[in-house]
Amino acid sequence: MSTLVSPSAQPLSNLEDWDDFLEGRYKEGKSDAEFRQYDATANPGVAEFYRLNHENQTLGYVLEKEKQYFALNRGEKSVWEAAEYLNTLVDDSDPDTDLTQLEHLLQTSEAIRRDGHPRWMVLTGFIHDLGKCLCLYGEPQWGVVGDTFPVGCAWSDQIVFPEYFAGNPDAHVPEYQTKYGIYEPNCGLENVHMSFGHDGYIAEVMKPYLPDEALYMLRFHSFYAWHRHGAYGYLTNEKDRAMLEWVNKFNPYDLYSKGHTKPDVKALMPYYTDLFAEFLPARLRW
Ligand SMILES: [Fe+2]
Ligand SMILES: [Fe+2]
C-alpha cells in the first residue's frame, strides 16, 4: 500500500487478498453450507478486514462518503489515465506471480470479449474495479473493497461474517434495525444506500454514459448477499429483478477470469482506445 497506516487498519497484505478469498468462497461446485464454513481462525487477515468493514460502515459514514465522492470533484481523467493511476497502487506482493490492477481489468474484459458479449459489457469488464483508486485517495481497505450491503435497515445473515455487525453503532438504532429500516418495501436498489466502496463510486463516474445493465454490474458486483444468496428481495423492484440476470452474467468473469498468461497491454491498447471512444468522452469527472 502506498499510504502509511497502522497494520490493524490495513489487515489485507494487498487488495487481491479479498478477491482471492471471494474466489475460494465461490469455488465452482461449492455448496452454500460450505460457504458458511469460513471462520476467523482460517482467515485471520480477511476476518479482521471484515470486522473493520462491518463495524464502521454505518448509515452516517455512508452518507458522508457519498457526499464526499459522488460529487465527482477529484479532477478529470481519461480511462487510460485512471487505469494507470490505479496501477500505481503497489501492494507488497510478489510482482512475478501477481497481476497488476491493469492486468486484472484486462483479463476480465478480454474473457468477456472472447465470449462474444456486447461491447458495452467488455468496457464494463475493463472499468469495473477502477474505483479502487479510492485507496490512493487515502480511504482504508475496509472502505474500498469487500462485500457490499444495504445500510439503514436490518443486516441479512447472508452477508459474510454477519456476527461482526454486533459492533456497528447502527445496531443500537432501532429505526435501522427493522426489516425495511429507512426504506419503503420494494423501493428499488437504486434508492438504497449501499455500504461505501469501489463499486458505488465507479457507477457514479460512469452513470451518464452507460446502459442500466452496465451500471448495475458496476454498482452491485460485490453485493453477494443479493446476487448470489437471494437476500433483500423485499427491497428490490421489477427493474432490479430484470437487471439481476446481467449482474449474474458478469460475476463469473470477475471471479474466475484470472488466467496464467499476462495480457499484452501494448497489443490490446488500440482496441480499447476505440472502445472507450465509442462510449465515453475523452476525459471523465472522477
Ligand atoms: Fe470489484
Ligand atoms: Fe474485480
How many angstroms separate the alpha carbon of residue 15 from the centre of ligand 2? Answer: 10
Contact 145, 15 (CB under 8 A): yes
Q: Which residue has the higher pLDDT, 15 or 140?
A: 140
How many angstroms separate the alpha carbon of residue 26 from the centre of ligand 2? Answer: 14
The protein residues having their C-beta less than 5 angstroms from ligand 1 (an ion) are 129
Predicted pLDDT at 3:
41
How many angstroms separate the alpha carbon of residue 268 from the centre of ligand 1? Answer: 22
C-alpha cell at 123: 468496457
Contact 113, 199 (CB under 8 A): no
Q: Please report which ligand is nearest the Cα atom of 125.
A: 2
pLDDT per residue as tens digits for the range 49-107: 999 999 999 999 999 999 999 999 999 999 999 999 998 886 655 555 577 889 889 99
Q: Please report which ligand is nearest the Cα atom of 16.
A: 2
How many angstroms separate the alpha carbon of residue 130 from the centre of ligand 2? Answer: 9
Q: Please report which ligand is nearest the Cα atom of 198.
A: 1
Output the pTM of the full model.
0.92
Q: Please report which ligand is nearest the Cα atom of 254.
A: 2
